[in-house]
Amino acid sequence: MGGASFDESIPFKGLRIAVMTVSDTRTEATDKSGAYLVESALEAGHQVMDKVIVPDDRKRIEVQLRRWVNEPNIEVVLATGGTGVTARDVTPEAFEAVWEKPIPGFGELFRTLSYEEIGTSTIQSRACAGVARGTYLFALPGSTGACKDAWTGILRYQLDIRYRPCNFAELIPRLVER
């Protein structure tokens, strides 16, 4: 990762994360992508405050996002599913309706990393991210492989306050103008 590294002199600070799986068909027993995100966050030392499965319905996704954005104990939302190009894929539209600022580089970097794994098929992903009321919102594809690419290639670094030269975690206190 170029000149980037972890500064072990900085104490780790676990973040409070919520996980949403967007699917009409997944259940807790079959939700491998959501389970992967929960497990990865916990293994990294973060707290998982909530996990839900929401149908591919824009309004229901928005309602859940707004609930978490208004919850002071949620700092990060990781969503999996609904980022493709079919008629039922509405997660990016729901996220765009909620966030105040997009983070366009997230989707670009995700697709770059994904390209190394699945080639041009990555073009079908509309992974995206943004910030709403001091909460980071990340929308990932529904495949476990895509969630692994996003976690191991981006999120584990950017959600760790020790990562240098900079990271999303250290910006949390300044996301909301006071």
Which CATH number goes with the domain that contains 52? 3.40.980.10
Confirm whether 1 is domain-assigned: no
Confirm whether 140 is domain-assigned: yes
Q: How far is CA 81 from the centre of its chain?
A: 11
Confirm whether 92 is domain-assigned: yes
Confirm whether 5 is domain-assigned: no
Domain tally, the chain: 1
Confirm whether 6 is domain-assigned: no
Q: What 3-state class would DSSP assign to 90?
A: coil
Token couple for 35? 């389970």
Tens of pLDDT, residue by residue over 44-96, are 999 999 999 999 999 999 999 999 999 999 999 999 999 999 999 999 999 99
Q: Which of 26, 69, 24 is nearest to 50 (CA)?
A: 69
pLDDT for residue 129 = 98
Alpha helices in the chain (DSSP H): 32-44, 58-69, 91-98, 104-118, 144-150, 156-158
Angle between helices 91-98 and 58-69 (to 10 degrees): 40
Q: Give the separation between CA 114 and CA 145, rounded to whole angstroms.
A: 9
Sole residue written with tokens 């030269």: 165
Bridge partners (DSSP) listed for residue 82: none
Question: Is pLDDT at 128 greater than 90 in this prediction?
Answer: yes
Question: Is pLDDT at 123 greater than 60 in this prediction?
Answer: yes
Confirm whether 84 is domain-assigned: yes
Alpha helices in 45-174 (DSSP H): 58-69, 91-98, 104-118, 144-150, 156-158
Q: Give the separation between CA 129 and CA 86, rounded to whole angstroms.
A: 19
Confirm whether 2 is domain-assigned: no
Confirm whether 103 is domain-assigned: yes
pTM score, two decimals? 0.96
Q: Domain range holding 162?
A: 14-174
